[in-house]
Amino acid sequence: MAPERVLLTGATGAFGRYLLRELAGAGRQVSVVVRAGDPEAATSRVAAALAGPVPGGVDVICGDLARPDLGLTAGDRRRLQASTTAVLHAAASTRFDLALARARAANVGTLRNVLAFAASAPSLTRFGFVSTAFVAGQTGGRILETPPAGAPPVTTYDASKAEAEVLVRSGLLGVAVDVYRPSLVVAGDASGRHAALAVLRLVQAGLMPALPGDPRDRFDVVPAPEAAGVVVALFSDPRAAGGTYHVAAGDAAPRVGDLIALALPAGRRITYTGPGLEAWEAAVRRLCQVRPGCTPVYRRVGSIAAYLANPRCFDTTSLRRVLGAAAELPSALPVIAGALGRLRSAAA
């Protein structure tokens, strides 16, 4: 019998590279499909994402998830179909500001192509889909590990991922389909484009004197390496097959005030405008009258403000039932502090 082989998509992405490290570190045989002009360029992209050599047991293949048959050559398609026993689909656009049509193309269209390919793999036994906890949209309170309830989305990203969850659960494959929902994932080398870091950088610069919500609210953010470890542990565990899991800090998520304290300069204070966005948006309008050049900046961080305005806790009951103590994620506060320090040094 041929060894089990995982097809991982999104291996060069901000979260996918950690999934690849976890899979390879666990001794799994992995195939990754990478958009590139030739095999050498594809391998170079993976090595750059990993900041090191491509591990043994990892097969890098040129392709394009946006195209039918994943843009593979006929030979690569046949080889991948014959060898794939499980698929972990992590490729996505995580931008919050895309037009809805583009977000759907990136997050629903590519999933449709991956599902069609997976259905053609005769030895397929498992399909894992990396979604997001924020498919909850504007819902506040305790969010259960159940299908989205149709709440209005906050961003086109949320909307497209909720639509993707409906598609992945539609029974196209006939095998166990798992849905993994990370909360906000951050790595120590995250760029200033990361949504949470962008807000904290504004706080650091004195350009965000007000935020919606309350400093005692929790805001779920998790460190990327450990979150990837939880996803791979679920993906590798037969008991997790077919479930939906919040890969989140849950009741242990950091408080907003503790996150803001990482960036708030000594002697400065920040005002919390309470639940809802109205008071915060009024404060932002006043700020923009004084500093018109900041208007585009505040637009970019509006999605995080909307999440803060609707505090929620991502329930992790299903996650803890399967993984027990291994489901406990460490605090992301040290990771965020390190990322802020790196960004501060780079800007100096």
Give the separation between CA 134 and CA 222, rounded to whole angstroms: 13
Give tens-digit pLDDT for 284-324.
Answer: 888 888 887 777 777 778 888 888 998 999 999 999 999 99
**Residue that wins the pLDDT comparison between 257 and 346:** 257
Tokens of residue 52, six digits: 């090191």
SS3 assignment for 196-222: HHHHHHHHHCCCCCEECECCCCECCEE
**pLDDT tens figures, 208-246:** 888 999 999 999 999 999 999 999 999 999 999 999 999
Residue-level pLDDT at 192: 76
Q: What percent of the chain has pLDDT over 90?
A: 73
Q: Where are the domains of the chain?
A: 5-188+221-252+313-332
Contact criterion met (CB below 8 Å) for 214 and 274: yes
Q: How confident is the model at residue 130 (pLDDT cuts 50, 70, 90)?
A: very high
CATH of 5-188+221-252+313-332 given 3.40.1390.10, 3.40.50.720, 3.40.640.10, 3.40.50.300: 3.40.50.720
Model pTM score:
0.95
Are 65 and 71 contacting, i.e. CB atoms less than 8 angstroms apart?
yes
| Per-residue pLDDT reduced to its tens digit, 95-129 | 888 899 999 999 999 999 999 999 999 999 999 99
* Alpha helical stretches, state H, 51-88: 74-83
pLDDT at 1: 41
Residue 3 has pLDDT above 70, yes or no: no
Count CA within 13 A, CB hemisphere, residue 23: 30
Backbone angles phi, psi at 238, to 5 degrees: -55, -30
Residue 348 to residue 346: CA distance in whole angstroms: 6
Q: State yes or no: pLDDT of 2 exceeds 70.
A: no
Name the residue with higher pLDDT: 67 or 171: 67
Query: Which pLDDT does position 297 carry in this prediction?
Result: 72
For residue 222, how far is the Cα from the chain centroid? 10
Mean pLDDT of 141-168: 91
Please give the backbone phi and psi of residue 186, each rounded to the nearest 5 degrees, phi first.
-135, 145
- What share of the chain has pLDDT > 70, as a percent? 99
- 71-81 pLDDT, tens digit per residue, is 999 999 999 99
| Residue-averaged pLDDT of the chain | 93
The stretch 325-334 carries a mean pLDDT of: 95
CA nearest 180: which of 17, 318, 34? 318
Per DSSP, the three-state class of 259 is: helix
